[in-house]
């Protein structure tokens, strides 16, 4: 058997074994060891040790625990509640105001945090009771909360982009800069869609009743200032310092975590129990990410050494598809895999397999990464592994899971639309990095 065919067998065996429900990282390691040993002998053992150690030696990965800590502390700081309250008061007279407030809060909070879990939960807790009281449409409400809440994984700072940068081989700073406009575009699509629907069908999103409105405009301004200034400061310290080149992504993450510590102290939300919980959670997720990244780097090294990616690339180039065709196929693959899988296995296992093809076509890798990232956001919304729906159901038990699914599907159509816009107008992605670069 030639090494290339061995590589194909490898991927087939692997994809069956991974579905048995055992932690991916360990299955990946042993399979790569076995197939690597058959393919090129004992060198595979040192390759594994080296792959793991080079991970421990790379300062970029220190951004992961820091972004996690920052996000977990911000959940507790009550930042989002203030922001949402302020937007709700400001927009109260508008039809569909709560939808818009959710989209705005989600987008702003996403620029201050790099993780996703909390946003959906917090938005659900804050918005759902008022939405129920004002007879907002359940599907629409669930859709905008889940879709908006998961923007945190796309809009920088984002743990997903930190992981993606080294996998694709582009700078994390470029990815951060490139993801801002697409993220805001999606938030705009979500909010805009909700507003248009509320205008056409007033019953799904009425303006808020008098008792939910503010007494004076000055009060709204005061609330808005209180809600907006702390996150703005945090965004400047973290994302700003990264984008303007004052700090590396890792240092920016440290600044963000530091800012989050200051905020949680300032809001008097700090307790040792919370710190303990956030710290252990940080440790756990960092361990999961680092170990899985090591395993998949090792897998990628073995796989490419067997020569299979080159073979696949030649076969695909021979098909005579243009770059657009290839990208569409890859995005479709990512989208479909997003139904049973979470983003981490897709980024770490699938992307390295298709990457040589993308390179062979000379496709801009930053643009490609962002397209994949936008597409991956749907992985949170597509059943059966739609984490966002479980989180929302957990805090709003009176909403039917079926309605939540249907709501999410509506917003997945919007995301597909957003992806197509980025596909045909690459400037949306590439403009900001080029401006910042000089």
Partner 1 sequence: MRALERIVKVLDGITVWTARICFPLVIPLMAVLVYEVFVRKLFISPTIWAMDTSYMINGVLGMMGAVYALYRGGHIAIDFISDRWSKRTKAAVNAVFYITCFFPGMSIFLWFGSKFAYDSWLEKERAITSAWMPPIYPLKMVMVVAIVFLLLQGISEFLKNLHVFLRGERP
Interacting residues toward partner 1 by CB under 8 A:
18-27, 29-31, 33, 45-46, 48-50, 52-53, 55-59, 61-62, 64-66, 69, 241, 246-247, 250-251, 253-255, 257-258, 261, 279-280, 282-292, 340-342, 344-345, 384-385
Q: Whole-number minimum distance, CB 215 to partner 1, in Å? A: 42
| 147, 415 contact by CB (below 8 A) | yes
Q: How far apart are CA 174 and CA 249, in angstroms?
A: 11
Closer CB to partner 1, 20 or 218, in the complex: 20
Q: How far apart are CA 222 and CA 86, in angstroms?
A: 9
Closer CB to partner 1, 63 or 123, in the complex: 63
Closer CB to partner 1, 278 or 363, in the complex: 278
Label residue 55 left, alpha or beta by phi (over 0 means left) and psi (-120 to 50 means alpha).
alpha
- Rg (alpha carbons) of the chain, rounded to whole number: 22
Q: How far apart are CA 404 and CA 389, in angstroms?
A: 7
Q: How far apart are CA 378 and CA 214, in angstroms?
A: 36
112-130 CB burial, b ≥16 within 10 A, e <16: bbbbbbbbbbbbbbbbbeb
Closer CB to partner 1, 322 or 384, in the complex: 384
Q: Whole-number minimum distance, CB 149 to partner 1, in Å? A: 20
Please report where in the chains the tokens 């897709």 appear, as a residue. 346
Q: Whole-number minimum distance, CB 407 to partner 1, in Å? A: 21
Q: How far apart are CA 133 and CA 98, in angstroms?
A: 12
- Residues whose CB falls within 8 Å of the CB of residue 259, separated by 6 or more in sequence, listed in order: 70, 233, 234, 237, 238
Q: Whole-number minimum distance, CB 294 to partner 1, in Å? A: 8
Q: How far apart are CA 300 and CA 297, in angstroms?
A: 5
Q: Whole-number minimum distance, CB 341 to partner 1, in Å? A: 6
71-80 CB burial, b ≥16 within 10 A, e <16: bbbbbbbbbb
Closer CB to partner 1, 299 or 368, in the complex: 299
Please say whether the dihedral angle defined by the alpha carbons of residues 283, 289, 294 and 299, taken in this order, is positive or negative: positive
- Residues whose CB falls within 8 Å of the CB of residue 245, separated by 6 or more in sequence, listed in order: 173, 436
Closer CB to partner 1, 50 or 425, in the complex: 50
Q: Whole-number minimum distance, CB 359 to partner 1, in Å? A: 27
Q: Whole-number minimum distance, CB 131 to partner 1, in Å? A: 30
- Residues whose CB falls within 8 Å of the CB of residue 425, separated by 6 or more in sequence, listed in order: none
- The values of phi and psi at residue 118, to 5°, are -70, -35
Closer CB to partner 1, 336 or 420, in the complex: 336
Closest CA to 62 of 291, 290, 240: 290
Closer CB to partner 1, 61 or 411, in the complex: 61
Q: Whole-number minimum distance, CB 150 to partner 1, in Å? A: 17
Q: Whole-number minimum distance, CB 50 to partner 1, in Å? A: 8
Closer CB to partner 1, 101 or 351, in the complex: 351
| 381, 172 contact by CB (below 8 A) | no
Please report where in the chains the tokens 């997945």 appear, as a residue. 412
Q: Whole-number minimum distance, CB 31 to partner 1, in Å? A: 8
Closest CA to 77 of 255, 261, 257: 261
Q: Whole-number minimum distance, CB 395 to partner 1, in Å? A: 22
Q: How far apart are CA 9 and CA 79, in angstroms?
A: 50
Closer CB to partner 1, 56 or 218, in the complex: 56
Closer CB to partner 1, 54 or 434, in the complex: 54
Closest CA to 397 of 138, 12, 27, 91: 138
């Amino acid at each position: 058997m030639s090494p290339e065919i061995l590589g194909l067998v490898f991927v087939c065996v692997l994809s069956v074994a991974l579905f048995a429900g055992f932690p991916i990282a360990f299955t990946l390691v042993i399979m790569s060891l076995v197939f690597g040993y058959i393919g090129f002998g004992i060198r595979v053992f040192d390759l594994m040790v080296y792959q793991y150690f080079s991970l421990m030696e790379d300062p970029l990965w220190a951004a992961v625990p820091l972004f996690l800590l920052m996000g977990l502390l911000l959940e507790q700081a009550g930042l989002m509640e203030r922001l949402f309250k302020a937007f709700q008061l400001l927009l109260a007279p508008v039809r569909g105001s709560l939808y818009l407030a959710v989209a705005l809060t989600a987008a702003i909070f996403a620029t201050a945090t790099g993780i996703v879990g909390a946003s959906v939960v917090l938005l659900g807790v804050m918005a759902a009771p008022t939405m129920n009281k004002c007879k907002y449409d359940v599907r629409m409400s669930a859709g905008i909360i889940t879709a908006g809440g998961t923007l945190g994984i796309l809009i920088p700072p984002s743990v997903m982009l930190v992981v993606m940068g080294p996998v694709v081989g582009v700078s994390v700073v470029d990815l951060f800069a490139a993801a801002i406009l697409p993220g805001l575009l999606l938030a705009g699509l979500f909010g805009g869609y909700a507003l248009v629907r509320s205008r056409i069908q007033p019953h799904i999103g009425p303006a808020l009743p008098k008792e939910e409105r503010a007494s004076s405009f000055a009060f709204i301004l005061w609330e808005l200032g209180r809600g907006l200034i702390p996150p703005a400061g945090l965004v400047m310290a973290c994302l700003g310092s990264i984008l303007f080149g004052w700090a590396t992504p890792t240092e920016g993450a440290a600044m963000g975590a530091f800012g989050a510590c200051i905020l949680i102290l300032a809001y008097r939300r700090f307790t040792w129990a919370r710190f303990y919980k956030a710290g252990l959670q940080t440790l756990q997720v960092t361990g999961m990410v680092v170990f899985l990244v090591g395993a998949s780097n090792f897998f990628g090294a073995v796989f490419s050494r067997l020569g299979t990616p080159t073979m696949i690339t030649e076969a695909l180039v021979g098909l005579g598809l243009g770059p657009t065709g290839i990208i569409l196929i890859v995005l479709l693959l990512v989208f479909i895999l997003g139904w049973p899988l979470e983003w981490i296995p897709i980024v770490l296992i699938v992307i390295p397999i298709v990457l040589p093809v993308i390179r062979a076509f000379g496709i801009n890798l930053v643009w490609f990464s962002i397209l994949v990232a936008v597409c991956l956001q749907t992985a949170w919304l597509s059943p059966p592994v739609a984490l966002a729906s479980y989180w929302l159901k957990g805090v709003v038990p009176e909403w039917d899971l079926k309605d939540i699914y249907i709501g999410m599907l509506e917003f997945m159509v919007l995301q597909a639309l957003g992806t197509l816009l980025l596909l045909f107008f690459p400037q949306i992605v590439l403009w900001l990095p080029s401006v910042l670069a000089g």
